[in-house]
Chain A
């Protein structure tokens, strides 16, 4: 009888309930989408490994470091492997085709980043071809690249048109791995730069440093930086996560705004839902008073309102969560590679469910309390 009452009461005003449901669905989808955007911002940091450090020029990432640092870093106690890299910043056909390109020290880099999954033969083909390049699966799919394709990229930092042969396509080990990146041999970059601009040769943008024990990250970082103290290019070493978060921090104000808006949406729908439940309860005071007169307790009456409110909110929440996935996919497709990693995480789904539950509970609080505490004689006099 309790469930029957809740269900029939919930659909007593079909239009009102439907509109409330639509409101909750839209709010939950919007909330999920905004949380996913925030997640996408943090994707780089989330995908970073605790065993990797990044060493860069202490002044700025814009300034490079001598290649000779590689050997010195490798000798620092606790360091397992070192791999240098440079940001290339080229343009493929038009500027709107932006994607990140890096010159890497192939073998050490690929060993250090096992989350980039490459077929053995493709890896070998890349390592043995100085003009070779690796592209992420999403990037290759976006431009329709196939293994063996020639990919011309116009350099901005390093002038000229650079033509690479696509030798490998990597897949991410999980959804958090960015599959929109492009890699080629640092050696190719270095020898070309040295030929054209000898003074810019043997320079590395940053070193990825693999350490043996992640708990020693702080100590190893200090040791590396101490090694280059008072040199022409002092270093700043930090965990890969801290390095990635440094980029996120540059846009922190936007992120805070997005997060605030996501919660404001929840608060707005909470107010709408609370208004709906208040109207609903007010219309039924006479019925609640009758039930109490018959012998039903205050808890039963409050339970009816709570269950109806939570039921509507959770139904809207479930529909909203289900809709978030196709909406997020459409959103990601529309934005192309702007957000390399864009997926609705389990945490987001849980937050959406929690938000729906909170909306249902909070919306019912005052109406349920009032209905439970209304004097029977006053309730019987109430006119809907």
Chain B
């Protein structure tokens, strides 16, 4: 088991500001955020709706750009990367888990998991081996040829988790991963995330409204009106 507090910060956020401009109105979403996430940590971001937690997650994941400040991930200031550099960086460093799974409906579970590997130089055989292992890890070996609409919500989220893992990313970002699931299935997904963190040492940043889900994290960070609350 990793002791996250002893590891160097994988994510180091300094003076992060995010604001939206609507017409002549400037709306501050995140105000002077400073945050470290250690390698192997499992962080839950909580807060009321509109507090900026999803925006913070998006910025860490490199799918949004800050108005000011630094976001250092493994020493790279991703705020300075252009769109194509950022895309390559995400492919190599970030695994995504979404509330509504966001699987490609025209691809099978196997093909969905394989998708991020299309951006690597891995050969077909290596890809197949990796995908098989990832699906075995989430307990869906027997469902690999099924399309998303042939799977339950929990199974779809497992496929999404396998897809997030497949390229061995530095960090997994999860936006309300249990938000669309019933309690029992949500527990199964949280068990899975817990296992990824504890057994595989994966760094996870998760946004959630659910205190029970947050309770599975090593650290809970509260956001209110765009400001971190201790």
Does B111 interact with chain A (Cβ within 8 Å)?
yes
A295 shortest CB reach to chain B, Å: 3
Contact: A1 with B102, CB < 8 Å? no
Identity of the chain A residue whose Cβ is nearest the Cβ of B55 in the assembled complex:
A377
Contact: A293 with B61, CB < 8 Å? yes
Complex contacts, B163 vs chain A, CB 8 Å = 294
Partner of B90, one of A8, A286, A293: A293
Does B84 interact with chain A (Cβ within 8 Å)?
yes
Contact: B104 with A292, CB < 8 Å? no
CA distance A165 to B104 in the complex (A): 76
Does B63 interact with chain A (Cβ within 8 Å)?
yes
Does B185 interact with chain A (Cβ within 8 Å)?
no
Does B119 interact with chain A (Cβ within 8 Å)?
yes
Does B107 interact with chain A (Cβ within 8 Å)?
yes
Partner of B84, one of A286, A293, A297, A380: A297
Given contacts A9-B106, A296-B119, A298-B83, contact A1 B114 (CB under 8 A): yes
Contact mask for chain B residues 158-171; partner A; CB cutoff 8 A; 1 contact, 0 none: 00000100000000
Contact mask for chain B residues 89-133; partner A; CB cutoff 8 A; 1 contact, 0 none: 011101010100010111100010011101100000000000000
B222 shortest CB reach to chain A, Å: 22
Does A287 interact with chain B (Cβ within 8 Å)?
yes
Does A250 interact with chain B (Cβ within 8 Å)?
no
Partner of B91, one of A287, A294, A380: A294
Does B76 interact with chain A (Cβ within 8 Å)?
no
Does A5 interact with chain B (Cβ within 8 Å)?
yes
Identity of the chain B residue whose Cβ is nearest the Cβ of A381 in the assembled complex:
B54
Partner of A295, one of B58, B105, B119: B119
Given contacts A295-B92, A298-B83, A376-B64, contact A12 B58 (CB under 8 A): no
Complex contacts, A375 vs chain B, CB 8 Å = 64
CA distance A142 to B94 in the complex (A): 76
Given contacts A293-B96, A380-B102, contact A1 B87 (CB under 8 A): no
CA distance A287 to B104 in the complex (A): 6
Given contacts A1-B118, A295-B116, A296-B87, contact A8 B63 (CB under 8 A): no
Identity of the chain A residue whose Cβ is nearest the Cβ of B93 in the assembled complex:
A295
Complex contacts, B61 vs chain A, CB 8 Å = 293
Complex contacts, A4 vs chain B, CB 8 Å = 107, 111
A202 shortest CB reach to chain B, Å: 82
Within 8 A of A (CB), among B49-97: 58, 61, 63-64, 83-84, 87-88, 90-92, 94, 96
Given contacts A1-B118, A290-B98, contact A295 B64 (CB under 8 A): no
CA distance A141 to B102 in the complex (A): 67
CA distance A296 to B87 in the complex (A): 6
Contact: B106 with A12, CB < 8 Å? yes
CA distance A286 to B87 in the complex (A): 16
The interface size bin for chain B is 20 to 34
| Interface of chain A: mostly helix, strand, loop or mixed | helix
Complex contacts, B88 vs chain A, CB 8 Å = 295
Partner of A290, one of B87, B91, B102, B106: B102
Contact: B90 with A294, CB < 8 Å? yes
Complex contacts, B90 vs chain A, CB 8 Å = 293-295
Contact: B87 with A295, CB < 8 Å? yes
Identity of the chain B residue whose Cβ is nearest the Cβ of A294 in the assembled complex:
B116
Complex contacts, A376 vs chain B, CB 8 Å = 58, 63-64
CA distance A292 to B91 in the complex (A): 9
Complex contacts, A380 vs chain B, CB 8 Å = 63, 98, 102
Given contacts A5-B106, A294-B96, A296-B119, contact A377 B63 (CB under 8 A): yes
Q: Which of A287, A290, A298 has the most CB of B within 10 A?
A: A290
Within 8 A of B (CB), among A6-26: 8-9, 12
Contact: B119 with A5, CB < 8 Å? no
Given contacts A8-B106, A287-B102, A294-B96, contact A1 B115 (CB under 8 A): yes
Complex contacts, B84 vs chain A, CB 8 Å = 297-298
Complex contacts, A291 vs chain B, CB 8 Å = 104, 115
CA distance A376 to B64 in the complex (A): 7
B102 shortest CB reach to chain A, Å: 4
Contact: B63 with A293, CB < 8 Å? yes
A224 shortest CB reach to chain B, Å: 71
Complex contacts, B106 vs chain A, CB 8 Å = 5, 8-9, 12
Contact: A377 with B91, CB < 8 Å? no
Identity of the chain B residue whose Cβ is nearest the Cβ of A298 in the assembled complex:
B83
Extra 17 A-B pairs, beta carbons < 8 Å, given A287-B104, A290-B102, A296-B91: A4-B107, A8-B107, A12-B105, A287-B102, A290-B98, A292-B63, A293-B63, A293-B90, A294-B115, A294-B116, A294-B163, A295-B119, A297-B84, A375-B64, A377-B58, A377-B64, A380-B102
Q: Which 10 A-B pairs have the closest CB atoms?
A: A295-B91, A8-B106, A376-B63, A290-B102, A295-B90, A295-B119, A1-B118, A377-B64, A294-B116, A297-B87
A contact set with B: CB distance below 8 Å: 1, 4-5, 8-9, 12, 286-287, 290-298, 375-377, 380
25 contacts between A and B (CB under 8 A): A1-B111, A1-B115, A5-B104, A5-B106, A8-B106, A12-B105, A287-B102, A287-B105, A290-B96, A290-B102, A291-B115, A292-B63, A293-B61, A295-B87, A295-B90, A295-B91, A295-B92, A296-B87, A297-B84, A297-B87, A298-B84, A376-B58, A376-B63, A377-B58, A380-B63
